[in-house]
Amino acid sequence: MILAIDTASRALSIALGDGRGVSYAAHQMRSRGQAENLMPMIARGFRATGCRPDDLTGLAVTVGPGTFTGLRIGLAAARAMRVALNVPLFGMSALEVLAAEAASRFPDRPVLAALDARRDQVYAQMFRRAAPPFAECWSAPMAIAAGDAAQMAVPGTVLIGNGAALVAAHLGGETVVLDGVEPDARHLLRLAAARPLPAYPVPSPGPLYLRAPDAKLPTRR
């Protein structure tokens, strides 16, 4: 049994399951309060499935890009459970998780995953094709102006993510826009179950930060 956790963006989601499917999933749109609600959500998942923490054989977590606070919450919880349960922990880009969702709807089409990074920027990554279970990367993940991200799209591209509309505003032609979509732990779980989890005690995954935080320390005078 694998527990998947996503707190990378504007949502909080978990999923429990294995290679045969998802046994339990919960998803909340939440701009704040992820830290207070993550562990109760996991506890509800255990009760609903009859699974105990000791039954877990692996953990999976999105490592970013995303909000700095959200990433720290998910990674801290996953790392703590990894140590307590002595199980492997798998980290995956939130953009690849979005590409997996696009694959479930539009297999074999190119995908541009985009998360709103504010100030008309997006965290974006282009995938050559998103046929399940794994997407083929066409670019590295990057923080980029929405207009520049649009230049990566090719005819027939599927735009997905809460930054998809920002990119689509700079595009014409044949594109499918799945706007407002957040990374979902169900797709993270499916990706983790489809590939070998890293053997313990490989170091825990770190956050994928693509730019410096907006918050600045006050300047001393």
Asked if pLDDT for residue 211 goes beyond 50, the answer is: yes
Asked if pLDDT for residue 220 goes beyond 60, the answer is: no
Residue 101 CA to residue 106 CA, distance in Å, equals 9
Is 83:129 a contact under the CB 8 Å cutoff? Answer: no
Q: What is the pLDDT of residue 24?
A: 98
Is 171:25 a contact under the CB 8 Å cutoff? Answer: no
Is 148:65 a contact under the CB 8 Å cutoff? Answer: no
Q: Which two tokens stand for residue 18?
A: 């294995």
Asked if pLDDT for residue 66 goes beyond 70, the answer is: yes
Asked if pLDDT for residue 42 goes beyond 70, the answer is: yes
Cis-peptide, bond into residue 132, ω within 30° of zero: no
Angstrom CA distances, 41 to 55, 72, 73, 114, stand at 17, 17, 14, 27
Q: What is the pLDDT of residue 84?
A: 95
Is 1:19 a contact under the CB 8 Å cutoff? Answer: no
Range 196-220 average pLDDT: 66
Q: How many residues can be counted in the chain?
A: 221
Domains of the chain: 2-94+184-193 (3.30.420.40), 95-179 (3.30.420.40)
Residue 107 CA to residue 16 CA, distance in Å, equals 24
Confidence of residue 41 (pLDDT cuts 50, 70, 90): very high
Q: Which two tokens stand for residue 185?
A: 């732990």
